[in-house]
Every structure is written in structure tokens, then in C-alpha cells.
Structure 1
Amino acid sequence: MRNTQRYRVKEANSLWQIYKTVPFWKVVKNFIIIQLARYTPFLGVKNWLYRTFLRMEVGHETAFALMVMLDIMFPEKISVGKNSVIGYNTTILAHEYLIKEYRLGSVVIGNEVMIGANSTILPGVSIGDGAIVSAGTLVHKDVPAGTFVGGNPMQVIYTKEEMENRNNQDNLLDHE
């Protein structure tokens, strides 16, 4: 189960009530910053924009590829550790608006995490240090450290131990 907080709504669906949950001008500012960052080829500039204007935690030497789409409503609920790669056109959400409720949840991405292109990360998910997320994956639950996951729905491809064995075998081959 994802770690989200649920907020019930009584009137129309929760998206119709968006500006009761988040200020309009915050959304406008976040939209502009995110769109600028999506197209800039300068990784340091992106990280500065995210830290300065969106209040995100972004680790040293983390790389957001072109077209990464961050949560426009609550980007401050996203944190990414150091030396991680967020692949092209990945979407990271910290909210979901439903019919009778909306949900908010922090997204925590660890250090040295690789997220493949066109992945979607749902609110309330943690991705452990050294994990690998295959391209096109729907990350709908936590990913343990060092694990290789992929697919829709997401499944474990290799556990941390299996990944360590593969890396050890690769290192042996490199030294032959």
C-alpha cells in the first residue's frame, strides 16, 4: 500500500475543487518553472530551479533528463537523492484527484537510483538507494534498495542479492 493521506470531498469530483486544495498562483508558478526545466539542457540549472522555486530536495549530481514532468500541485513533496538519473519523459506525482477524494503522498527517491524513460511514479512511493526502474514502468508501490523492477504493473526483475551476483560476475569478466 502506498503511503498517502486521503481527503474526502462532498461536492463535485475532487479535480473540480482543485483551488480549494492548492492556491491558484502556486500552480501557475510551478507550471512555469516545471516547463522551463523540462526543456533546458543544463542539469545544474534544472536542479537549481527545482530547489529554489519548487522547494524540492535534489541531491548533488542528480540528473533530470529532458521532458521530466514533476507534480505541478505539490512538487515540494518530491525528494531525490544524490547521483540519481530520472529518465526522459518520466512523470513523478505527489497527488491524485479522484471522484470522492484526493490523495497526497511524498515521493522519496534514494541515492544512485536509475529511473528509465517514460516511467510514472505514483504518490506515496519510496525508491531505495541503488534501485533500477526499467523504462515504461508504473511505480505503484515501494521499491527496495538495490532492486531492479519493471513493467506495468511493476514487478521485481532482480532482487538486491541477484543484482549483486550479476555485478560480481561482470566484475570477474572485466578482470579476465
Structure 2
Amino acid sequence: MRNTTRYKVEGANSLWQLYKTVPFVKVAKNFVVIQLSRYTPFIPVKNWLYRRFLKMKVGDQTAVALMVMMDIMFPEKISIGKNTIIGYNTTILAHEYLIDEYRLGDVVIGDEVMVGANSTILPGVTIGDGAIVSAATLVHQDVPAGAFVGGNPMRVIYTKEEMKNRKKEEIL
């Protein structure tokens, strides 16, 4: 199970009660900043917008590609390490709104991680340092450091040790 906190709701589904859980002004501001960030080709500007206006933790030399969609309601729950690449059109969520409840969870992406294009990272997930996430992967559980993962649902393709052995074999 992912590391999320559950909040029960009564009556209409939790998304219908959205502005009881997060202020409208915050969502509107986040929407504008995220849309600007999605289209700007200047990585330092994009990272500055994330840090300054969304209160995200973004490491040095991290590159977030064009069209990446950060969580619009709780971007401050997203942390990205240094020298990491987030691929084109990836979605990073820190919330889930369900019928009877909503869930919030921190997303922690380590240092020197590569996330392939069109991936989705769900709330409460930690991606370890040096991990590689294949394109179009649904990251629904933690990713061990140094692992290569992919698919929908995600599975470990190579562990850190297997990756080291593959690199040694390629050298020989």
C-alpha cells in the first residue's frame, strides 16, 4: 500500500466537496503557475516557478520536460532530488479523490532519477536514488534505489544489483 493519509467524506463524492479540502484561490493560482511551467522551455525558470510559487522541493540541475503536469491541488507534497529528469507529459499526483474519501500522500523522487515520458506517479510513492522509470509507466508503489521499472502496472525489470551486472557485462 502507498503511504497516503485517508480522509472520509459524507454525502456527495469527495471531488464534489473539493473546495472544503483545498481553497479555490490556491487551486486557481496553482493552475496558472503549472500551465506556465508546462509550456516554458527554460528549465531554470520552470524550477524557480515550482520552488517560489508552488513550494515544491526541486534539486539542482533537475530537468522537468515540456508538458509535465504537477499536482494542481497539493504540489507542495512533491519533492524531486538533484540531477533528475522528469520526461515529457508525465503526471505527478499527490492526491486521489474517491467516492467515500480522499487521500493525500507525499511524492518523493530521489537524486539522479530518470522518469520516462508519459508516466504517471501516484500519491504516497517514493522513487529511490538512481532509479529508472520506463516511459508510460504507472508508478503505483515505491521504486527501490537503482532499480529499472516499467509497465502498467509497474514491475521491477532489473534490480540495482542486476543493473550493475549488466553494465559489467557490457564493458567486457
TM-score higher than 0.5: yes
1:125 maps to a residue whose letter is V
User: What is the RMSD of the two structures over their aligned residues, measured on CA atoms?
Assistant: 0.6
Runs of 4+ with deviation above 4 angstroms: none
| Structure 2 gaps, min length 5 | none
Partner residue, 1:63? 63
Aligned to 1:22: 22
CA distance in 1 between counterparts of 2:108 and 2:169 reads: 30
Q: Please give the residue correspondences for 1:11-90 in structure 2 after superposition, counting only pairs within 5 Å.
A: 11-90=11-90
Aligned to 1:3: 3
Measure, in 1, the Cα distance between the counterparts of 2:155 and 2:144. 12
Q: In structure 1, how many angstroms separate the alpha carbons of the residues matched to 2:149 and 2:27? A: 32
Shift of 1:125: 0.1
Partners of 2:135 and 2:84 in 1: how far apart? 15
Partners of 2:2 and 2:97 in 1: CA distance: 15
Residue 92 of structure 1 pairs with residue 92 of structure 2: yes
Query: How far apart, in 2, do the equivalents of 1:36 and 1:165 lie?
Result: 42
Give the paired residue count. Answer: 172
Cα offset, 1:11, TM superposition: 1.3
Task: Specify the code of the residue in structure 1 equivalent to 2:8.
Answer: R
User: Following TM superposition, by how much is the alpha carbon of 1:77 offset from its aligned partner in structure 2, in angstroms?
Assistant: 0.1
Deviation at 1:151, TM superposition (A): 0.2
SS of the equivalent of 1:124 reads coil
Using the TM superposition, give the Cα deviation of residue 168 of structure 1 relative to its aligned residue in structure 2, in angstroms.
2.2
Q: Partner letter of residue 124 of structure 1?
A: G
Per-residue Cα deviation, 1:75-103 (whole angstroms, up to 9, x for no partner): 00000000000000000000000000000
| TM-score when normalising by structure 1 | 0.97
| TM-score normalised per structure 2 | 0.99
Q: Deviations over 1:91-127 (max 9, x none)?
A: 0000000000000000000000000000000000000
Shift of 1:63: 0.3
Q: CA deviation at 1:169?
A: 2.6
Distance 1:80 1:167 in 2: 26
Distance 1:125 1:103 in 2: 13
